[in-house]
Structure 1
Amino acid sequence: MRILRADALLLLVAIIWGVGFVIQRMAMESVGPVTFTGVRLLIGTLSMLPLLPLARRLAPKTLKPVSRRRLLLGLTGAGLAMSFGAVLQQAGLVHTTAGIAGFITGLYVVFVPLLGLLVGYFVRWTTWVAVLVATGGLYLLSVQGQPTINPGDGLVLLGSVAWAAQMLITGWLALRCDPVRIAIFQTAFAGVLTLLVALPWEQPDFGAVLSIWPELLFSGVLAVGVAFLLQTIAQQDAPPAHTAVLLALEAVFGAWAGWAILNEQLTGIQIVGCLVIFVGIVLAQLRPPRPLEQRNATSPLN
């Protein structure tokens, strides 16, 4: 039942992020990518602060012991990974098409199990098959057989690796700290760091920032505050690789949102890509993942 709850939460996160991808593209017409990222992360942080009194109730019944030093290192690492992932993705969108950016970002479905192997995470063979199938679906949905190579692609690719690292670290943290504090620390750290970069680099026009307040509210409250908190709660029960496969649905919902909001048309190949991703999700469910305590028993992160 807990696995089903985790899957439902991750599905909701994928919907929010998919729609949020379109909202982010709309906001790029008014402000720089780093400024937008920093402001939305801090808005997300503020939206979660009222939940602090509920922090212990949302934590796992039994938290794994960890020193304050290791916990702080983990939180800092997750915050850094979130900073790099968000900024590189937004910066890459300036130089590449949304379709290719969506495909490359979705490659975290590959990077999560690959990075996980390096730190001793167990990955089932069914998950590897699901990863390959979902990656093929992402390609059909986003690139449509005509990829182009430019600097923006490289930025988004590096961002995808950063998001994979963020998922792995969050999976480790989820068993050692309550999800509210994990999410707040990550977003606050990433938001402050990102704005410190934005001020000298982009010299933001705060009038322009205020002009996109609807996009900032959606991206901050929902795509950051709600989504990252739900992701952290879900990762108490869902393995990182399993999480990545489900979140690959972000590309499907992003394509749907592009059609509904921006009147973008889905081709036959894109529809096939959506169906292939769904097949990958089904494959990931064929054999329920082991409990996280068993799954990570041999990981050097423990």
Structure 2
Amino acid sequence: MKINRVRQNVLPLVTAMIWGTAFVAQSVAAKYMGPFTFNTARAVIAFLFLLGLCGLRAAWRRRKGGAPVSAGSRRDLLLGGLCCGAALSVASFFQQKGLETTTPGKAGFITALYIVLVPLAGLALGKKVPRALWLGVALAVAGLYCLCVTEELTITKGDLYVLVCAFCFTAQILVVDHFTNKVDGVALSCVQFLVMTVLSAAGMLAETLPPLALLPEYLGPVLYVGVFSSGVAYTLQILAQKDSNPAVVSLLMSMESLFAAVAGALILGTRMTGREYLGCALMLAAVVLAQLPRPLGRKTAEGTFGNGQEV
């Protein structure tokens, strides 16, 4: 029980820290290559890393005389990998495209909107949504307005791309929640990035490859995102969501927005206006409010999103 508690609370926070700092690496890489090229590189690195990890796990268990790790049925693993990989490919494309023109801090907070969208997605699935969530939605909309809409009442393309990315990550979280208890988490993540490699490579054919002369400039960011943000963090996400409340786990993972803002300020020296900081505060309040538990003694309906109950 104690190990499960650590897994369900520590792993999402570690994931958030890796994802948050990865926004800086992604922003740097966006200066040298297109989104499909970058996502192909990160996906290949993540796939090879996870494939090696799967091999090491199998060899270690054979040496100990234990049974090999079951990856669940091949059908579930293949279907889960296809669905997770497709959702992740689309989400990563829009996020990387947005980072070409927006800052890591803003991108982190807009991406974190998935914490509100996950419970709202329950409406389409026939789930009940607590009233407090609607206040969270209102705060999130106000926060997005302060973050993205200029004084001329226009929204930048970069912010709009990242907003679409938040909707795609909502789908990815829900798909992971559906398959994570059916198959091995590391195997699912491995297949997920294999699918992302194929889909991103198809789009990469339409982009210009970055010059090899500038390899030292973008190799570090690509490796960091490929190994840590993709290979490690997305696997930790899957392991954290196993037998856990996806709403609570997504709340902890949404702290990536804070890590992104801090990392952007410390590493890249990016700064926001007072209005944008207000937008960050409103979105952070929406994130927390969306997952506040109901008061003690108040009975919770089964199948409710966003209040600490299982989805």
Provide TM-score, normalisation by structure 1.
0.78
Cα separation, 2, equivalents of 1:64 and 1:180: 11
AA of the residue aligned to 1:54: R
Query: Which 10-residue stretch deviates more, 249-258 or 146-155?
Result: 146-155
Cα separation, 2, equivalents of 1:107 and 1:72: 29
| Equivalent residue for 1:284, pick from 286, 291, 303 | 291
Give CA-to-partner distance per residue, 1:130-162, whole Å, 9 cap, x none: 954983796499449867424444432322211
Secondary structure class of the residue paired with 1:201: coil
Give CA-to-partner distance per residue, 1:148-196, whole Å, 9 cap, x none: 4244444323222111111111111110011100111111210222022
Q: Does the CA contact (< 8 Å) of 1:133 and 1:277 recur in 2? A: no
Q: How many angstroms does 1:30 deviate by?
A: 1.3
Secondary structure class of the residue paired with 1:241: helix
AA of the residue aligned to 1:45: F
Cα separation, 2, equivalents of 1:81 and 1:279: 24
AA of the residue aligned to 2:212: G
2:42 is matched with 40
Q: 1:140 to 1:148 in 2, by over 3 A?
A: closer
2:256 is matched with 250
- Within a 5 Å distance, the mapping from 1:53-68 to structure 2 comes to 53-54=56-57, 68=74
Q: How many angstroms does 1:99 deviate by?
A: 5.0
Query: Which 10-residue stretch deviates more, 37-46 or 90-99?
Result: 90-99
Query: Which 10-residue stretch deviates more, 179-188 or 244-253?
Result: 244-253
RMSD between superposed Cα atoms in Å: 3.7
Q: Does the CA contact (< 8 Å) of 1:9 and 1:230 recur in 2? A: yes
2:117 is matched with 111
Query: Which 10-residue stretch deviates more, 208-217 or 123-132?
Result: 123-132
Cα separation, 2, equivalents of 1:191 and 1:127: 40
Count of residue correspondences? 285
Higher gyration radius (CA): 2
Cα separation, 2, equivalents of 1:103 and 1:196: 30
Q: What are the ranges of 5 or more consecutive residues in structure 2 without an aligned counterpart?
A: 62-68, 296-301, 305-310
Cα separation, 1, equivalents of 2:142 and 2:10: 21
Q: How many angstroms does 1:225 deviate by?
A: 0.8
| Equivalent residue for 1:29, pick from 1, 10, 31 | 31
AA of the residue aligned to 1:201: A
Q: 1:209 to 1:185 in 2, by over 3 A?
A: farther
Cα separation, 2, equivalents of 1:65 and 1:30: 38
